[in-house]
Amino acid sequence: MKHQVVILGGGFGGLYAAQSLKNTDADITVIDRRNFHLFQPLLYQVATGGLSPGEIASPLRYVLNRQKNTKVILGEAVDIRVADRSVLLKDGALVPYDTLIVATGATHHYFGHPEWAAFAPGLKTIEDATEIRTRILLAFERAEKDTNPADRRANLTFVVVGGGPTGVELAGALGEISRDTLRKDFRSINPAEANIFLIEGESRVLPPWPPALSKAAVNSLIRLGVQTRTNTRVTGIDGDGVILQFGETSTRISAKTVLWAAGVQASPLGTILSRNTGVQLDRAGRVLVEPDLSLPGHPEILVVGDLASITQDGKPVPGVAPAAIQQGRHAAAVVEARLRNRKLKPFHYLDKGSLATIGRNHAVADIGPLHFSGKIAWLAWLFIHLLYIVEFENRLLIVVQWAYDYFTHNRGARLITGDWASSDEALGPGSAGSNKT
């Protein structure tokens, strides 16, 4: 019987591991709860109506269908039986492995306030993105109908919590929607009067980036009407807005739309691995792996992507797509090296740089010694994202949609969908939390 490699998760880490094992003499099984690979870096564009879900997702079976040694199982791993070397799925099936690659990523985390989730959705899944899209669009619809100025103002106020790349990109897209996309769409309100706040606990947005780029990002955000509040913590979120803490001062912002781009928590499989093997987790629940990405004492288990905690040159390897891809490829190389009894160097993360867009024509880029911003950074962002998705089928669609949106200032995928899309209650205040899709 061939060596059995089981990969949990079809995100960047898991998918690239599977693809890198294409020509290996082993049987590969990819297990995911979802039937598609999601190009998560563009999820904020679905949330803001720029792209359709299908344009940033590819069916896993399709992506892997020519890979004869690989099969895909739709299912959720609920336990890893280390002694038996098998994975227990929620439907009761046991999947045995010789090597296990765990790549189940991370979800958002509300710093001990799970009750905030209903009021401030995060952005990890397609459903999150369509829910956020619905909330944003309905807020403008409610404002168009509001006769009470305070209600109208609350409906036209948007708060993005977290000034990392996701928060900056979301806030920038909100600025563009209000200042550009919707500018001719309403009759009673001027969407450009929307108040958009970006809240960051540290002293600047994009904290790990060079300070000059944080400043460039803030300037680009200002051009789109986004107000940045740094050194500010969120101490409360409910259906009417947020409470902010700045030093000793506490203020309330009335806002009907609050989006969460702050905390990240590793997948629960980290906790399960820790319980079953004694491996240590970091504060965010990530698994502290060996330099070759394996678990201490369990070389047959490798952890890659956002679930893995690894430091390099004293700095943590960031939870970004390129790191997950590189780790997925490394894990595949580990499997191949062992099958051939070869030695392999430890994992080394090659930081190709970071980019974040802020509306049309603006981005910030931190690429090795190069720090730049503005239109050139935006073109670099565009080019690199198109390169990354070049392996997937959807690149041409995205190019066409982007080109069309760029020249028409439109966002074609601005659909209000879901359970309550057709109910008037949805237009009433404070009902956004009832959307389940």
- CB 26 within 8 Å of CB 6: no
Between 132 and 333, name the residue whose CB sits nearer to its own copies: 132
Q: Which stretch binds its own copies (CB under 8 A): 251-259, 322-330, 352-360, 421-429?
A: 421-429
Under rule CB under 8 A, residue 2 binds its own copies: no
* Per-residue b or e along 220-243, where b marks 16 or more CB atoms closer than 10 Å to that residue's CB: bbeebbbebbbebbbeebbeebbe
Return d(Cα 381, Cα 360) in angstroms, integer. Answer: 11
Under rule CB under 8 A, residue 66 binds its own copies: yes
Which of 311, 376, 396, 430 touches its own copies (CB under 8 A)?
396
The structure tokens listed for 62 are 């399709």
Residues 6+ apart with CB under 8 A from 112: none
- Residue 336 C-alpha from the chain's centroid: 30
Catalytic annotation, pick one of 55, 131, 169, 200:
169
Q: Which of residues 121-180 bind its own copies (CB under 8 A)?
A: 126-127, 137, 141, 144-145
Under rule CB under 8 A, residue 79 binds its own copies: no
Under rule CB under 8 A, residue 427 binds its own copies: yes
Burial class from Cβ neighbours inside 10 Å (0-12, 13-18, 19+) for residue 72 reads: buried
Return d(Cα 244, Cα 46) in angstroms, integer. Answer: 28
Q: What is the dihedral of CA 312, 313, 318, 324, to 10 degrees?
A: -30
- Among this protein's residues, is 131 annotated catalytic? no
CB of 394 to its own copies, least distance (A): 6
CB of 207 to its own copies, least distance (A): 32
Residue 25 CB neighbour total at 10 angstroms: 11
Which of 271, 412, 430, 434 touches its own copies (CB under 8 A)?
412
Which of 111, 246, 383, 404 touches its own copies (CB under 8 A)?
404
State the helix-helix crossing angle for 321-339 and 12-20, rounded to 10 degrees: 30
Under rule CB under 8 A, residue 96 binds its own copies: no
CB of 157 to its own copies, least distance (A): 19
What are the two backbone dihedrals, phi and then psi, of residue 400, each rounded to the nearest 5 degrees?
Answer: -65, -45
Q: Which stretch binds its own copies (CB under 8 A): 13-21, 233-241, 276-284, 423-431?
A: 423-431
Q: Which of residues 7-46 bind its own copies (CB under 8 A)?
A: 33-36
Interacting residue ranges for its own copies, rule: CB under 8 A = 33-36, 51-55, 57-59, 61-62, 65-66, 71-76, 89-91, 93, 126-127, 137, 141, 144-145, 182, 184-187, 393-394, 396-397, 400-401, 404, 408, 410, 412-419, 421-424, 427-428, 436-437
As annotated, the active-site residues are: 169
